[in-house]
Amino acid sequence: MRERSGYMCAEIFLHIALRRKIFAHMKKKILLLVLVFASWHLYAPPNCEIYKSNTTCYQSCQQAMKAIRYRQGSHQSQRRFEKSIALCPDFAYSYMEKAVPYLKRGLFIEWKAMIDKAVELSPKEYLGYRGWCRLQFLRDYQGAINDIQQLQSLVHYDIGYGQTGDYHLNFALALSYKGLGQLEQARQLMLQHLQSDNYTEGLYDYYHLGVVEYELGNFDQALHYLNRQVEVNDYMSDTYYYMALCNKQLNQREQYAAHLEKAEVYYRSGKTITDNYTEAFDKIYLTDILNEKNNN
């Protein structure tokens, strides 16, 4: 996918450059990064050599390779994708790549028409991607559920990660149910994913599970998972904020004050859940922390 130069690369870069402090302390996260790189082939440009038996599709692929040398969304790049599609109208990759800048720039009608074509031509390859984008950019929870579940029904292998590499698509499915307010379903799916074979801890998995438990009113269980999150990734103000809320519900006044204070200190030093393109899921802002402090 074109994300190799934009979206995916930026995310990977941010993981490395902006979070290097946590990686120094987090061997498991380094492993996750390696896995993301290992799955690079899922997002990499296609190998044009496999189209050699079909001259026009081979040329189409070559046009797409030319297109990705230009800045994403530039007219030079888009025109080459158009040439690529004209040469081989069944070449799904070019529809998907041509669509990406529309998604990132808020032109969703145009994006959807193009990504639908890519999914129609190559559902196993692009259903998960479309579902993730619907969740991340539009909070289209039902649309994301439909796409991810359709992918699950089509394949018998690991459906992989969302485009940012931060969430497995099984976990994205759970986040979608959470978005619809179906917290118990979200909780079950999160636990199911955590207990699955070959589970690799996501950067934020325990945090979101902790938040779901909090919202379900299971404060002890929420604290359990939020503490696990701190073990996995002690780099988030957001975790301490929810720990404080749990402490408040459990009448643990000292821990409440300490965790809220830590949430503020972390936030002010830039340690918070972030996403370069959209608001992160279950994101907490400084205002939330200060309001909590002022109201208690």
Partner 1 sequence: MYKLTLLTLIILVTGCMQDGYQNVGDIPFDASIDDENFKVCNERNIKQYYLRRSSDAPPSYRGEKRALEQAILSEYSFPEAAQENGYLTIRFIVNCEGAPGRFRVEEMDFSYQPKTFDPQITSQLLRLVKNLTDWVPRKRRNTTYDFYQYLTFKIQKGQVIEILP
- Residues making contact with partner 1 (CB under 8 A): 10, 13-14, 17-18, 71, 73-75, 78-79, 101-102, 104-109, 112-113, 137-140, 143, 276-279, 283, 285-288
By beta-carbon proximity to partner 1, the closer residue of 160 and 165 is 165
As a whole number of angstroms, the distance between CA 269 and CA 147 comes to 38
Q: How far is CA 101 from the centre of its chain?
A: 17
By beta-carbon proximity to partner 1, the closer residue of 21 and 253 is 21
CA angle (119, 124, 125) in 5-degree steps: 70
Smallest gap from Cβ 131 to partner 1, in A, equals 14
Smallest gap from Cβ 98 to partner 1, in A, equals 9
Smallest gap from Cβ 75 to partner 1, in A, equals 4
DSSP helix/strand/coil, 235: coil
By beta-carbon proximity to partner 1, the closer residue of 136 and 170 is 136
Please, how many CA atoms are within 13 Å of residue 241, restricted to the half-sphere of its CB? 27
Smallest gap from Cβ 165 to partner 1, in A, equals 16
As a whole number of angstroms, the distance between CA 101 and CA 78 comes to 9
The H or E element spanning position 174 is helix 169-179
By beta-carbon proximity to partner 1, the closer residue of 101 and 160 is 101
| 152 beta partners | none
By beta-carbon proximity to partner 1, the closer residue of 90 and 288 is 288
| 161 beta partners | 168
Smallest gap from Cβ 105 to partner 1, in A, equals 3
